[in-house]
Structure 1
Amino acid sequence: MVVPEPGLPTEVTIYEVGPRDGLQNESAVVSADVKTEFIRRLADAGLRTVETTSFVSPKWVPQLADAAEVFADVVKNVDVDLPVLVPNERGLDRALELGARHVAVFASATETFARKNLNRGLEASLDMFAPVVARATDAGLRVRTYVSMAFGDPWEGPVDPAQVVDVSVRLIEMGCDQVSLGDTIGVATAGQVTSLIDRFAKAGVGVDKLAVHFHDTYGQALANTLAALRCGITTVDASAGGLGGCPYAKSATGNLATEDLLWMLAGLGIETGVDIDKLVDTSLWMADRLGRPCPSRTVSALAAERQ
């Protein structure tokens, strides 16, 4: 039953991260052919933005060692926005060589996570991103930034919202056109989300510059998403079937499942352009290849109804 809520966006863009953020944290390494078929199926379900892979060293993320092969295939055969993660200038070089038009960098709101994930401090990591963003924008690419640990850090605890805003504003000033606020370990609650977005407004950063990226460690991802929508956010990151986590934050569980998000948005009358039945089929297909059940509750419920 569709019951709209006054004041919510009429349309939401789902930024699908399953092929990158989802598969990078799976213990099973799936083949390049499976990855490209996964991306093709996601696009066929109506997802218009599908983060494809990461041009990171295979030493750090062996699950994505075939990044060049996968991207070279899908960029020719899949007609949707196909962003890729680039950790540094070397990663950007690879993306440019293969014809990427949309890249993302992965920043941290905290010193400790910057050192754990990027092997350098917060200031040094921002210095590293500056030439990446400059070169990408000069080449006409769109550049998004993730700001991880935006609500809590497993080593530092609760994160000061002012620090999150400061890091984000500096990245926007570099040339990033969108900041995805990451609840990397899934500890945020709805009030924190509202408060942080309000901080951005007071700093002169509109919701058009922001996206949200929630993990479901404590079962709060949908509640936090609804809080963000009430603040005017219109881009939400999600992962088909709830795949993913973070290889450098072991307490992080899966991302918000795209199907769970779709079920809520459909009930609110919010358009996404995504066919939930096709997406459920895709997530069941991928779960079979991973050899484990799909963690999305909506996938499980709709699959059970079919039987």
Structure 2
Amino acid sequence: MTTARIRSPATPGIVAGADPSLRWLRRLAWLCAALVLAITSLSASLRLAKAGIGCAPWPACYGAAQQALLAPPAAGDEAAQAPASTTLDAVRSAHRVLAVATLFLILVMGAACRHARRARAEWWALLAVTLFLAALGPWSARSALPAVALGNLLGGFAMLALSVRLAAPRRWAVTPVVRAWLWAAAVALLAQIVLGGLASTTGSILSCDGLADCWRAAAGQGWAALDPWRLPGSAAGAPVQWLHRVATGAVLLLALPLAWRLRRIDAWGAGVLAAALLALAVLGPVMVGAGFAFSLTLAHNQLAAIALAALARWL
């Protein structure tokens, strides 16, 4: 299996130096990617806090914030939660400021890519996802549905991937076999991300321990927890955890050899992909052993975003 070290016919007009406006587009796209990574970090902080990860006393408080959306807490409980609410309000405000700045930056990027057809198409996709997330925003704070949280999660990851594609377009074609391999790895990684999002938003992360234990628990629970339109706590979550672990193994088996293959034509991109995947593989067990510490869970989320962006650049 080989890859061809040639200019890719799929990316006309995006080669550095072809047009000064395209050089500006790449710089602005890198800035956009940095802003989106910060936004996804803030969004993940809000999502994980709403799920109850990092609450005190752990794990007795797990899921309490989601239940509060369904049944508002008593006056005494609201007073106890005031410091945490103040912190979350600050995070939410920062999230909104960065989101507005990112939208403005994306509009500026539109002028820089007006002469490149592929870049223009990806810019439109980036703008569409941004507007979708803006419309979804008002629902996020007051909805306990996993589907809403997943919409935010996947939308933010899509924005990061599109920003990286605009900032660092691939310049080499790949063989059909490698392209199929890329798609298989991307589908596996996307499944892992969706299942991880479901695990946190459905209150499933403490439902079982280890692959064998999750399989035994899942066999007796059914698969209703995979429905993102069910409210948290309405279905046991071991199937989500079991599938998430299986998807993690599939991602490593598919994407690590792929990164090794791609190193010959793009050492930097392949290195980022491999480093993110290896860090995810190490961080997963550490995160479980540490009782799902908030900082480790947040880092797990961001590493998945970086891995998906690195992989999506080649699709």
**TM-score for the superposition, normalised by structure 1:** 0.25
Query: What is the TM-score with the length of structure 2 in the denominator?
Result: 0.25
Higher-RCO chain (CA-CA 8 Å, sequence separation at least 6)? 2
Higher strand share: 1
